[in-house]
Amino acid sequence: MTVATEELRERVRQAITNQKRPTVTVLSSLLAAQDALGYIPDEAIDEVAAYTEASINEVWGVASFYKNFRFAPAGEHTVEICWGPSCHLVGATAIIERTLEHVGLEEEGETDDGRLTVRFNTCLGACAQAPVISIDHLLRGRMTPERAVTLIDNIPDNDSH
């Protein structure tokens, strides 16, 4: 437990001390920590507070405000489905329904086997190819419910995250 904690701390420290952009803030440090770990554990809050000379309160305030921060590990792969209006008008709901049913979820979240995180996104930025989903950050447009589940079933298993 303590070894794991110390290792987490070390990874956070690495991530936040190696930020390449000149302006380092609570937010930039939290983003760097989440990029490295995939989520914000309590240890990251501590480390960011220490590094940026902010209070734990301030750091939590920022982390809980922005909706991209998560506080538990994500699944091995992340599927995001856009529910923005451009996608909504051309069939996003059917894709959400089919995907959730296929992976056995009721709403956003992680599958029981830890393989997938499903997240809804307000706009993936490729609205001209609506409906849009993304799989591990790669955008996929002109989507249909069937293609979505096929793509999800065919995500290659890899060792990295």
| Binding positions for ligand FES, rule: CB under 6 A | 82, 84, 86-87, 123-127, 130, 132
By beta-carbon proximity to ligand FES, the closer residue of 63 and 81 is 81
Among 36, 50, 74, 126, binds another protein (CB under 8 A): 126
Helix (H) or strand (E) holding 43: helix 42-52
Q: How far apart are CA 55 and CA 45, in angstroms?
A: 9
Which two tokens mark 41? 């554990």
Span from 4-12, 17-25, 152-160 in contact with another protein (CB under 8 A)? 17-25
Residue nearest to ligand FES (CB): 84
Among 38, 46, 73, 129, binds another protein (CB under 8 A): 129
By beta-carbon proximity to another protein, the closer residue of 2 and 137 is 137
Asked whether position 22 contacts another protein by CB under 8 A, the answer is yes
By beta-carbon proximity to another protein, the closer residue of 11 and 127 is 127
Among 4, 56, 72, 89, binds another protein (CB under 8 A): 89
Indicate left, alpha or beta for 41 from its phi (over 0: left) and psi (-120 to 50: alpha): beta
Q: At what angle are helices 26-37 and 2-17 packed, to 10 degrees? A: 120
Q: Taking the complex as a whole, how short is the minimal distance between the CB of residue 76 and another protein, in angstroms? A: 18
Contacts 24+ apart (CB under 8 A), 95-104: 95/131, 95/133, 95/143, 95/144, 95/145, 95/148, 96/120, 97/145, 98/145, 98/146, 98/148, 98/149, 99/133, 99/145, 99/148, 99/149, 99/152, 102/149, 102/152, 103/152
Binding site for another protein (CB under 8 A): 21-23, 25-31, 52, 58, 61-62, 65-69, 82-90, 93, 96-97, 100, 107-109, 119-120, 122-130, 132, 137-142
